[in-house]
Structure 1
Amino acid sequence: MRNPYEVLGVAPADTSAEIQSAYRKLAKKLHPDLNPGDKTAEEKFKEVAGAYDLLSDAEKRKRFDNGEIDASGTERPQHQYYRDFASSDQGHPYADMGGFGDFMDSDDAFAELLRRGQRGRANRRGQDMHYHLPIDFVESITGANKRLTLPDGSTLDVKIPPGMVDGQTLRLKGKGAPGAGKSGPGDALIEVEVLPDRRFTREGDDISLELPISLSEAVLGGRIRVPTPTGDVTMSVPKGSNTGTTLRLKGKGAPHRGGGHGDQFVKLKMVLPKASDPELEAFVSNWSKGKEFNPREDRMS
């Protein structure tokens, strides 16, 4: 397995924030959900996720930097040897207390300290595991059920609650690394990335949408279909609407923490046909009031 710093393209001196930023860029590029059927991208994603899992954990990163574990998180041979030697029960004089059997005295405070350390190692909670999950903008508003592909090829089902924001972290209890002895497993910490949407933008719990309308709809008004995160709805365009006219769809935004929803704001943009229309040109040429109207007069004075 390659050096995790090389996999992420970072240096050992880089901060945790710099490492996280490098990981997010690579994960967004290589995630299996964004590269369906691409086995090469999937294998690279597993490698990147494994490297980030090690370097995002301060204790693991320190042990790797000190040469105590390798890039896969496995104890290096010399450490494994001493651990197995100390834990052997084949009559070795130090077996019961991890290599300190000859120094034990029931009244010795040092002996009690070693006993506590021995018990702590035997019952240790599993490590928390860190993952990255991209979701669509609409999924962040409505919620979704997602399946996360883990570095080892296994999967984890994740329920995305409605109203998630970019960078928010979900904690799945007991879905991390297994613990030792009587202690339970760690948790899975899943950082959610909300992918940009070409239609919607979000500000707080409100969302916005720019919607093209025709000249006829702008002048005469009418009923038009408007996309929302929960599906299309019908909205009335008032007569005489301009580019920049903003209408509100109440309750079509993101969920409020205490209940209810924000609103969706629809900003109208009048668009003329791409091809020239002789009939329209003739009308405008003969439209005297249109020639008299100067839309820049109030704005530029």
Structure 2
Amino acid sequence: MPNPYETLGVARDASADTIRRAYRKLAKTHHPDLNPGNAAAEARFKDIASAHALLSDPEKRGKFDRGEIDAEGHEAAPRRPSYREYAEAAAGQRYSGGAAGGQAGNWDPEDLESIFGSMFNEANRPRNQGPARGPDAHYSLTTSFLDAVNGTTTRLTLPDGSTLDVKIPPATEDGHILRLRGKGNPGRNGGPAGDALIAITVAPHKYFARDGQDIRLDLPITLPEAVLGGPIEVPTPGGAVRMRVPPHSDNGTILRLRGRGVPGNGTTPAGDLYATLRVTIGTPDEALEAFLRNWKPSTAADPRQTMETNP
């Protein structure tokens, strides 16, 4: 797998926010759902998800930066010393008056070759390896806007045909990585399995838009509702609620429903829902048209009088 920093196009000292933004930008371009049948895009997305999973975990990122694990999260194999390094180490001991005694010139070249060769072969001889944790597995999952906000459990079908039941917690954001402990690739020699890392993509909603913990909504209302006001039903992620429109509400007026946005948790409060009123005329109405032709307001007003003609 390529270097995760290069995969996301960020510097090695990039902040967590920079890494998250880079991942989201790339994921929206290369996600398999947006590139059906494109094997190259799917492979690219897997690299992007793997890179983000590693760099978004401070512990794993630190290990990678120190060379303790590779880009796939596997423990880096220790580098074996070369034949020359063995020879130089032994020669250094010889010059410092080690157990061999005498001068370096007294060594026969064939003896040196025999001794160093056996040392080198011993260092490279395979040994029984103990249990090792299995590598993590990386998957992607697209969920609906409402399921991400409210939380749900969905079933993910893996490439081998097996399935995972994935619990998506309430208030899940686009680009979030879910970790399922012990659901990754099997370990070696009886070691524990790795984890399953699932990159969540939240599909857009037809009406709602998320703004942090808040939800924003364009809400159509009729002309009588805008002029006279009154109670109306407003859709929210948790179901429809009633709200009162103030009389004489202009188009673009923003009304707030407290606590009807993204659910909170122990540290983050629930957000609000902001409804922007959009006055709609609806189907043609001859009676309304006749009324407006003959209607003379008691106070004439020009809503455009404050607009600059030469901004």
Q: Determine if the TM-score, normalized by the shorter chain, exceeds 0.5.
A: yes
Q: Superposed, which structure 2 residues align to 1:109-148 within 5 Å?
A: 111=122, 118-119=127-128, 121-148=129-156
The AA in structure 1 aligned to 2:272 is: D
- For structure 2, the 5+ residue unaligned runs are 10-22, 52-69, 73-115
TM-score by length of 2: 0.64
Given the alignment of the two structures, is residue 17 of structure 1 paired with residue 26 of structure 2, yes or no?
Answer: no
Change (3 A) 1:48 1:153: farther
Structure 1 residue matching 2:193: 3-state secondary structure: coil
Specify which of 172, 179, 191 is matched with residue 164 of structure 1: 172
Aligned mates of 2:258, 2:168 — CA distance in 1: 24
Structure 2 residue matching 1:292: 3-state secondary structure: coil
Which residue in the other structure is 1:87 paired with? Answer: none
- For structure 1, the 5+ residue unaligned runs are 5-10, 31-40, 61-102
What displacement does 1:290 show? 7.8
Bigger shift: residues 290-299 or 229-238: 290-299
Specify which of 186, 190, 196 is matched with residue 198 of structure 2: 190
Given the alignment of the two structures, is residue 225 of structure 1 paired with residue 236 of structure 2, yes or no?
Answer: no
TM-score by length of 1: 0.66
Aligned mates of 2:200, 2:222 — CA distance in 1: 38
Change (3 A) 1:238 1:59: closer
Aligned mates of 1:249, 1:269 — CA distance in 2: 17
Count of residues paired in the alignment: 233
Aligned mates of 2:40, 2:183 — CA distance in 1: 20
Given the alignment of the two structures, is residue 260 of structure 1 paired with residue 269 of structure 2, yes or no?
Answer: yes
Percent sequence identity over aligned pairs: 40
The AA in structure 2 aligned to 1:248 is: R
Q: Let me know the Cα RMSD of the aligned residues.
A: 3.7
Q: Deviations over 1:144-180 (max 9, x none)?
A: 1111111112111100011111111011100000001
Moved over 4 A (4+): 44-60, 108-111
What displacement does 1:193 show? 0.6
Q: Superposed, which structure 2 residues align to 1:202-213 within 5 Å?
A: 202-213=210-221
Specify which of 247, 251, 270 is matched with residue 279 of structure 2: 270
Aligned mates of 1:241, 1:142 — CA distance in 2: 31
